[in-house]
């Protein structure tokens, strides 16, 4: 449905709260009367250049990219707007296979038509403008896995980016009508409201090759 009134919501920044966990990394147990010399596998992960290995939570402010729309002012959103933000993950200093999961939650409860829609995994060879393959986000959760290659000498993971897409949904099934869109957009613009997304990220060592 076309909106008769378009009130713009200005995005100053994207407040992305990351609850970062690296529990169940590994356990090393030795019981002997002699001396043991062990090399411990490396476990250091950077998220948006922040070392989260020893932290349980961190807040990272990101500026989202809003897709250009000829009917909407640049760098603002209104009904039908789309955009994305990037989560950069650098596991180059990790020496084990591991799983990761990202649970996303939009904290702007009065904007039910603003939603996370899909994501893409971009490797370090990606150049802006290249074709991107996306996956629909189910239950606001992204799940992935990386396997360490023991057959390759001096193997190291490469950094990658998870690009998360969102949109102000318009169409059949929308929960906000014209009046809601106008009122909420007007209030958000006056109060300089930010889009707030909480992302809980868990990194965990794979202890079973079948997982």
| Domain extents in the chain | 39-205
Spatial CA neighbour of 76 closest among 162, 159, 194: 194
If you write DSSP's letter for every residue of 159-207 in order, what string do you get?
Answer: -EEEEEEEEE--STT-S--HHHHHHHHHHHHHTTPPEEEEEEEEEEE--
Q: What is the pLDDT of residue 3?
A: 40
CA distance 163 to 21: 20
% of residues, the chain, pLDDT over 70: 69
Confidence check: pLDDT of 20 > 70: no
Confidence check: pLDDT of 178 > 80: no
Confidence check: pLDDT of 87 > 70: yes
Q: What is the pLDDT of residue 42?
A: 81
Q: Poorest-confidence range of 29-43, 92-106, 193-207?
A: 29-43
For the segment 166-195, the average pLDDT, to the nearest whole number, is: 72
- Rounded to 5°, angle at Cα 185 from 183 and 187: 70
Q: Poorest-confidence range of 21-25, 110-114, 141-145?
A: 21-25
> How far from chain centre, in Å, is Cα 151?
31
CA distance 33 to 131: 59
pLDDT band with cut points at 50, 70 and 90 for residue 7: very low
Pairwise pLDDT comparison (48 vs 90), residue with the higher score: 90
Confidence check: pLDDT of 112 > 70: yes
Residue with tokens 């002997």: 32
- Rounded to 5°, angle at Cα 179 from 176 and 182: 95
């Amino acid at each position: 449905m076309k909106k008769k009134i378009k009130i713009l919501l200005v995005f100053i920044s994207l407040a992305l709260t990351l609850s970062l966990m690296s529990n169940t990394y590994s356990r090393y147990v030795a019981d002997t009367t002699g001396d043991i010399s062990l090399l411990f596998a490396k476990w250091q992960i950077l998220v948006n250049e922040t070392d989260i290995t020893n932290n349980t939570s961190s807040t990272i402010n990101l500026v989202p990219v809003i897709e250009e729309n000829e009917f909407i002012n640049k760098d603002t959103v209104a009904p039908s707007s789309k955009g994305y933000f990037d989560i950069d993950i650098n596991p180059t200093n990790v020496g084990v296979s591991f799983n990761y999961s990202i649970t996303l939650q939009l904290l702007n409860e009065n904007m039910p038509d603003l939603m996370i829609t899909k994501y893409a995994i971009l490797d370090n060879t990606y150049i802006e403008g290249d074709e991107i393959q996306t996956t629909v986000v189910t239950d606001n959760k992204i799940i992935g896995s990386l396997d360490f290659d023991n057959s390759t000498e001096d193997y190291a993971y490469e950094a990658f980016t998870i690009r998360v897409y969102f949109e102000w949904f318009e169409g059949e099934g929308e929960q906000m009508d014209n009046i809601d869109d106008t009122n909420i957009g007007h209030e958000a613009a006056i109060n300089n409201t930010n889009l707030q997304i909480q992302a809980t990220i868990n990194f965990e060592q794979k202890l079973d090759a079948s997982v």
